[in-house]
Structure 1
Amino acid sequence: MLCPCGIDREYEDCCGRWHAGAPAPDALALMRSRYSAYVLGLPDYLRATWHPSTRPPALDLDDPEARRVVWLGLQVKEHRAAGDRAEVEFVARYRVGGGSAVRMAERSRFVREGGRWYYVDGDTA
């Protein structure tokens, strides 16, 4: 199976490594793996890679509305890193049920602590 993150690689050789527990090497790889986790319905991975200071108390991808989301693609616009901090700007497209496609643009912030990258927060456009 090709990786949902949009890189032309097999899932096991791409985001599957990070989902299995290996630390993502940079914020860009983490962001792509988090997108793939939404596509594949992996809430435990999403919570584990969310910085504790901003992590929501619960993330239920099994609720009826979340199950209706069909992810259509990811486009990375920019990746900037400075030491243990990074930003990734991306556009993700999705559809809820049979509705029209929605474009979600975000500039996400990441931090590296203890050798692991974490999603902190983001600004949506």
Structure 2
Amino acid sequence: MMVLALLTLLLHGALTGLFYAFSMSVMPGLNAIDPAQAEAAMRSINRKILNPWLYIAFMGSPLAALAAGIVGGSMWFYAAAAVNAVGSFLVTVAINVPMNNALDAGTMSYQEYAPRWTRWNTIRTVACAAGLVLAGVGLTTL
């Protein structure tokens, strides 16, 4: 159980850090350059980020938390899984990915994309951080 709880904490921390880095440095950095360059860079980032390391953290966070809740019987891990599933997974699938696709297809300008995408990414960051805290509390109750 301890290994599963620590894995949950690690995955939530990795995902929180990824989303945080985008909101506090990547997007402001892109916003400081020419919009056409920023758009090209974001398209490249969106393509390159789709790799096994992302999927491990993105899919693994809520699944590990759910598994830790089942194995350990702790509501804290169930709560971490729920917050992550709604605030990270659902927001990503319903909002951020469609925006990425629209940017890639040229149906959304970078000027439209950046503020909205960053706002929703910050929501993902907060949700993942909340999941991290919940998993941390769950770990202390083992």
TM-score higher than 0.5 here? no
Q: Which has the higher contact order (CA 8 A, sep 6+)?
A: 2
Could you say which structure has the larger radius of gyration?
Answer: 2
Report the TM-score, using the length of structure 2 for normalisation: 0.26
Report the TM-score, using the length of structure 1 for normalisation: 0.28
